[in-house]
Amino acid sequence: MRARSVAPLPTGVGATDRAPRSVARDRPESGNWNAPSAGIPSPAPMTDLAHPDRLQKIAALRAQGLDPYPARGVVATPIPVLLAGAGTPEAPGPLAGTRVTVAGRIELLRDFGKLVFAPLLGQGGRIQAGLERDRLGEWWPSRKLLDGGDQVGVTGVLGHTKKGEPTVWAESVTLLAKAVAPPPEKWHGLVDKELRYRRRYVDLWASEGVAQVFVKRSQALSTIRRYLEGEGYLEVETPTLHPIAGGAAARPFITHHNALDCDFYLRIAPELYLKRLVVGGLERVFEVSRNFRNEGLSQRHNPEFTMLELYEAQADYRRMLEIAEQIVERCALAVNGTTKVTFRGAEYDLGAPFPRVGYTELFRERNGFEFDDLARVRRRAQELELHLVDDPWKLMNDVFEATCEDGLAGPVFVVDYPIGISPLAKQKPGDPRLAERFELYVAGMELGNAFSELNDPAEQERRFVEQVASKDPEAPGEVDWDYVQALEYGMPPAGGLGIGVDRLVMVLTGQDSIRDVLLFPAMKPEPRAVRAAPKGTEPSGKAGPERP
RNA sequence: GGGCGCGUAGCUCAGUCGGUAGAGCAACUGGCUUUUAACCAGUAGGUCGAAGGUUCGAUCCCUUCCGCGCUCACCA
């Protein structure tokens, strides 16, 4: 909530005869609770989590004419500012001894009878409030209505305890929102992974370091945007609903538009739209897009994931190498202050430049023959007990991934991919077997993919037709003729790059699983939705929740 | 989709070789004015994930289902 003053409520407009107290949030009176709001009762809490004792406290508050969910917050000083301003007992800071207001969630209550310590959690930190009987006067008995998890505002003098901990010695306490669900166990916090993901709103404050991961994620995205804008790029937004699932080989989600009475595919890649924009004269574009693939889940795969894609006219994949390096290095520095990261037990240096290794050379080194020796590829695939897919080029790449990918600790660029697995990339001059394409690997994980974009419409049409004709269930179902037509209008030579933002954030923050860098990873719906009616009110026991 | 594992109080976990369950924290009551997982005493809290089967009796054994985790497959 933004800090601002609120004009007193005019008498008779939603105000009561206690209105002068109700608007006192900027000048809290000692011992003041919140004045009542319009007297609208809240509906009964809906889930099993609501604790009866806490519901009774709400009833007690309302009985006193007090609002457990007041309309206004308090004007508070951010906790990091308070901590810095408090200094130490030996060297008090500029705020020590002054009256301050802090807002936050009561982490827990340590009750000593006539003194209660209450660590308050807010964004950016934790500071302790000290509630003393002798300072709080007539409010003091009301402390019994507070619980761990409640949102409160505390005004008092900033000081220290005997042990030197910064403490706001409360002169008034304002309940800002009553928590009816109890917080997790204070020492272990939330450890059940399912609960952590389902109740991220608890995990974010109850589990150490979780919020920081998402702060870093935001910083990384912000860094990417700043860098690309500095390079003259324009951020754009292209459709999520696609008539043809193109730009990647993946199984799409299908949805239906009622008014148009047609099916759409959820975006599997923004690529073809972004290149249309390059045709349209937007010479440097990028998009941070959510993509959806109807495939398996794993530590590296979520059904929806975030991809950065960018395209630059007059550039080729060599320029994309540089941009990829810059993005990774700048993000590391912005997020961690160093290019060194620890991921899955190993240390990596994300400082540019990254080494390059040729796909051809790597394949030959690990397998002892050329990647386009398809007969030997097939034998090798049998040795490796790989699933023998029909598409020889796909099989070749399966062999590559099985034999080469694990060794790519990285960061490293694998450059010059076989053209057979690069349907949207331009052929490498002087070697018709290869495309001007690279992938970026870190910790054996593909982080990025880039190429010199194919802009020959006839060649693109030929490859599309070939794809559609293939037996690959993940190939597009039909040729994107509109895209071919776009190329017919002429697309300048261009380089394009895609970076898996979730995976990049995994590496930057040292998280093993993609789920730990997604605020709300995909989960099956929780069967429990609503709670039974309050005890004793079920008509016959049949009206309870459906709990299959 | 396959394999392995897990599901017991709000949270973290014990336990029952089959006789319907315990601890710590949280909650509630009482005590305590400097705690850092405070402490001390007491109280309350559970259709032991769901359904079915075996059994005199199932939270425990069996089957199926649901959810989650790990792993393999899948995943340019």
pTM higher than 0.80: yes
Q: Report CA(A58)–C1'(B20) in Å, whole number.
A: 35
Do A494 and A314 contact (CB within 8 A), yes or no? yes
pLDDT over 70 at A48, yes or no: no
- Residue A425 and residue A419: Cα distance in Å, rounded? 7
Hits for CB < 7 Å against strand B across A residues 297-326: 297-301
Does residue A57 lie within 7 Å of nucleic acid chain B, judged by its CB?
yes
Q: Report CA(A296)–C1'(B1) in Å, whole number.
A: 10
Does residue A151 lie within 7 Å of nucleic acid chain B, judged by its CB?
no
- Residue A214 and residue A195: Cα distance in Å, rounded? 18
Burial of A276-303, coded b for 16+ CB within 10 Å and e otherwise, reads bbbbeeebbbbbbbebbbeeeeeeeebe
Q: Report CA(A14)–C1'(B48) in Å, whole number.
A: 51
- Residue A254 and residue A245: Cα distance in Å, rounded? 9
- Residue A449 and residue A440: Cα distance in Å, rounded? 6
What is the pLDDT, as a whole number, of residue A540?
Answer: 32
Q: Helices (H) and strands (E) in chain A — how many of each?
A: 15, 20
Hits for CB < 7 Å against strand B across A residues 162-181: 162-163, 165, 167
pLDDT over 70 at A136, yes or no: yes
Does residue A524 lie within 7 Å of nucleic acid chain B, judged by its CB?
yes
Does residue A185 lie within 7 Å of nucleic acid chain B, judged by its CB?
yes
- Average pLDDT over chain A, rounded to whole? 82
pLDDT over 80 at A358, yes or no: yes
For residue A49, which nucleotide's C1' is closest to its Cα? B10
Q: Report CA(A144)–C1'(B34) in Å, whole number.
A: 20
Among A74-78, A97-101, A294-298, A541-545, where is mean pLDDT lowest? A541-545
Q: Report CA(A514)–C1'(B32) in Å, whole number.
A: 48
Q: Which bases along strand B come within 7 Å of a protein CB atom?
A: 1, 10-13, 24-29, 31-39, 47, 50, 66-76
ipTM: 0.82
Does residue A195 lie within 7 Å of nucleic acid chain B, judged by its CB?
yes
- Residue A93 and residue A85: Cα distance in Å, rounded? 5
Residues A291-312: pLDDT tens digits? Answer: 998 887 888 888 889 999 999 9
